[in-house]
Amino acid sequence: MPRDSAKTRESIVKAASALFYSHGVRASNLDRIAEKAGVTKRTVYYHFTSKDELIEAYLTARDGPNLAAMKSWFHERGNDPASGVRAVFSGMKDASQHRLWRGCGYLRTAGELANMPGHPAIKAASLHKKNVEAWLAEEFCAAGIDNADTLARQVTLLMDGAFSVMLVHHDPDYIEQAGEAAAALIEKSMHTVSAGG
């Protein structure tokens, strides 16, 4: 085994992530992943007991960076939550224009594994979506919005709806329109707060 076990594991996850995201989890086998990572298949199995565990690691590794990107976009616009959410959707729109963009890795993976609800990757996908929803609820609560939890769920639904429709139409206008709908929901909630209920 190489001396730096953590680095080897990281390179396997990185290789798997590239293949899983580009080609899907079912189409990407461990032989290809090992080759891309520059290790043997045996080394992959040393770090991961199964392909299922590696798929889970792929999604888990995306959670922090994806959430950090959303937070960065949100706070670019100051403290106004409606503007912040518009910026998140705008960031998503920009990301969708990249030639390697293939949609939401969580939704695509969950779709591939839809007949396996107990799969560890489904749990990782669920956790990420819950993390996004919880973060939005925190932001809305900090802005004094009473229905922060409900609003966060509605905005999350608009995000995932935009991701899904983009896979069908490849038209970034859907993301922009979803962002406008999300911002309108927030502005309505803010108006209710300022009007005293």
Q: What is the pLDDT of residues 61-103, one digit of tens each?
A: 999 999 999 999 999 987 899 999 999 999 999 999 999 999 9
Measured CA to CA, the distance from residue 163 to residue 156 in angstroms comes to: 11
With beta carbons less than 8 A apart as the criterion, state whether 52 and 44 touch: no
Q: What is the pLDDT of residues 19-62, one digit of tens each?
A: 999 999 999 999 999 999 999 999 999 999 999 999 999 999 99
Best CA proximity match to 29, nearest among 59, 9, 57, 55: 55
Q: Which domains does the chain have, with CATH numbers?
A: 1-48 (1.10.10.60), 56-194 (1.10.357.10)
